[in-house]
A and B are shown apart, each in its own frame.
Chain A
Amino acid sequence: MLTLIAVLFFVFLAIGVPVAFALGLATVPVFMVGDYMPLTVAMQRMYGATQSFPLLAVPFFILAGNLMNITGITDRLLTFARLLTGWMVGGLAQVSIVLSALMGGISGSAVADAAMESRLLGPAMARRGYATGFTASVIAFSSVITATIPPSIGLILFGFISEVSIGRLLLGGVVPGILMTAVLMGVTSLVAHRMGYEPELAERPAFREVAASFFDCIWALLFPVFLLIGFRFGVFTATEAGAIVVAYALAIGTFVYRELTWDNLIAAMRDSVFDIGMVMLIIVMAAVLGHALTIEQAPHAITGFLAGLPGDKYVTLFAVLAIVFLAGTVMEATVNVLLVTPLVLPALVHVGFDPVHMGVVMIILVSVGGNTPPVGVIMYTVCGILKCSFADFVKWSWPYVVAMVVLIAAMALVPEIVLFLPDHLM
């Protein structure tokens, strides 16, 4: 039965049926043909999938990120990033990386960050004579930082699906996010030196200037700290945190920066609704598949297979990460979090890995998958806006791919990189 479902699913997927409908088309007919279970039960699962209070955190954080973008925080963060790194060789590229890290604290979405930076920095980088492929690669890879530093929608979804502490996951993303910023800046510096890309600012800015800019965006920079403190002391749940964050963004936009208008508030809500629509329809349709999988004890079989691979636990780790990476190259990050990670996580836990550690590593891995052909949503977005060919993108992106793979391997093998903060703070 499951083989049939799997075959149907992959066939539908391959011929271009949207993932959500491919899930429905693979499961519903099988239910109807066999006396497996009545379709009303399938509908019951769809209904049940949405009746989860923790899941409400997802639309809230999507909305909060979109709201922050329109409150004028983005411009202030750009000024700050420019002062911090604009004087370096390849200045604008470094600015884009630091901006992603700063944005990471208020937004949890890599694609939104990549799209915003392509529009904001792309033209300026072209004027400075940067190769388009280089500009696109820097912006695309730095957006993975945004998806790692809390709040991260990928980590929240993962925590919800796999029932792992969302607070610990978010804390676990902090150090990898900072490390990634450092590594990407290092690679960019090497490339920029070789190409002779000029700095953006003629000299280092005065300390006073930097400090003034810092205080100008203090509300955005304090935000992740505020969020993590709230989680640490159990002041609120992830869902409540989401609602508070939305209120926080509204308050700052209205009272502090005064750039929030009724029109762009509605626009931000509309954008959020579209994001929510895609994620939720997949969750709803996948609930039916999940039920079938459980009846057939598929997770058990997959765990048995992966955990039973010969050799020690690192063989299992390598096999799982290879699967997740391959899935990441052909599917969108959210889809992978929803469909692939819950199937492979039990095997990793079974052989002795920590679910928070593995969660952070897998989320970063699928986010990097958004930058690789054949299907990479971040790559599509950036190349679309910057008018860059995919071949050009791939040519310039290999140093970043290598750096990310090395960094991810280090994080996978040294759990302390991820677990240091959650273990000491929670």
Chain B
Amino acid sequence: MFAAVALLGAIVAVVLVGTVGRYVGRPVVWSDEVAQALFIWLAMLAADLTLQRAGHFRIDVLVGLLPPRLRFLLELAIKVTIAVLLVFLVYYGMRLVRLSDPRPLPMTGVPSSFAAAALPVAYGLMIITVVEQIVRHWRGLPEVHGERDVM
């Protein structure tokens, strides 16, 4: 949570520096690149945080019509399926990181794998989140919901 808030602040600052720099005649060549590299981390960590609060948009009208027992099983199956998907995404995400490792970003020279690593890391965190939710679900505990809706 703290990391995501800090990243958001950092991105705003970097883009501002870039904009102001252009106007005072000292363009900051690395600002776009750094902002984008930070952005993928922000986006992916935020996606996990949203998952923790069950904030990803879903259509639950049909599910609501099912009898409780069936609904319990369906919800369980959905969570397990998502966990399996995430395992694949982590695996292939790591391959992408390995592939992109030797390629430096044009301005800063930082290996682009630093940015690409956001994918497997965040998918990994999401696995933890989903497994947690499966355990809660199994014990019959209610889902954790955010108090605020999205957009």
Task: List residues of chain A with CB under 8 Å of any chain B CB.
Answer: 13-21, 24-25, 28, 32, 39-40, 42-44, 46-47, 50-53, 55-56, 59-60, 62-63, 109-112, 115, 153, 236, 239-240, 242-244, 246-247, 266, 269-284, 330-335, 374-375, 377, 380-381
Contacts and interface: CB of A to CB of B under 8 A. Distances in A.
> Which applies to chain A's interface (DSSP): helix, strand, loop or mixed?
helix
Contacts of A15: 62-63, 74, 78
A335 B67 CA distance: 28
Given A47-B40, A274-B50, A17 B5 contact: no
A414 B36 CA distance: 40
B73 to A, nearest CB: 11
In the complex, the 5 A-B pairs of residues with the closest C-beta atoms, listed nearest first: A277-B50, A277-B46, A18-B56, A280-B43, A281-B47
Contacts of A20: 47, 56-57
Contact of B57 (A40, A62, A332, A381): A332
Contacts of A375: 59, 61
Contact of B78 (A16, A24, A269): A16
Contact of B88 (A39, A47, A153, A380): A39
Given A16-B74, A50-B39, A40 B151 contact: no
B148 interface: yes
Contacts of B32: 53
Contacts of A17: 58, 78, 81-82
Contact of B89 (A24, A44, A109, A275): A24
Contacts of A280: 43-44, 46-47
B62 A28 contact: no
B90 to A, nearest CB: 10
A381 B151 CA distance: 11
Contacts of A46: 119
A242 B14 CA distance: 12
Contacts of A277: 43, 45-51, 55-56
A283 B44 CA distance: 11
Contacts of A21: 56, 82, 85
Interface string B2-20: 0011001101100110110
B120 to A, nearest CB: 9
A283 B46 CA distance: 13
Contacts of B121: none
B5 A243 contact: no
Interface residues of B, number: 59
Interface of B: 1, 4-5, 8-9, 11-12, 15-16, 18-19, 32, 35-36, 39-40, 42-51, 53, 55-63, 74-75, 78, 81-82, 85, 88-89, 92-93, 95-96, 99-100, 115-116, 118-119, 146, 148-151
A47 B116 contact: yes
6 contacts: A40-B96, A56-B35, A111-B151, A273-B1, A277-B46, A281-B47
A380 B150 CA distance: 12
Which residue, of B99, B115, B116, has the highest number of chain A Cβ atoms within 10 A? B116
B36 A276 contact: no
A60 B149 CA distance: 18
Given A15-B63, A17-B58, A21-B56, A111 B149 contact: yes
B148 A51 contact: no
Given A52-B36, A56-B15, A277-B46, A25 B85 contact: yes
A14 B59 contact: yes
B36 A278 contact: no
A279 B62 contact: no
Given A269-B5, A282-B57, A284-B43, 10 more contacts: A21-B85, A50-B44, A56-B36, A63-B12, A111-B149, A240-B18, A269-B9, A273-B4, A275-B151, A278-B47
A271 B45 CA distance: 14
B59 A278 contact: no
A69 B112 CA distance: 37
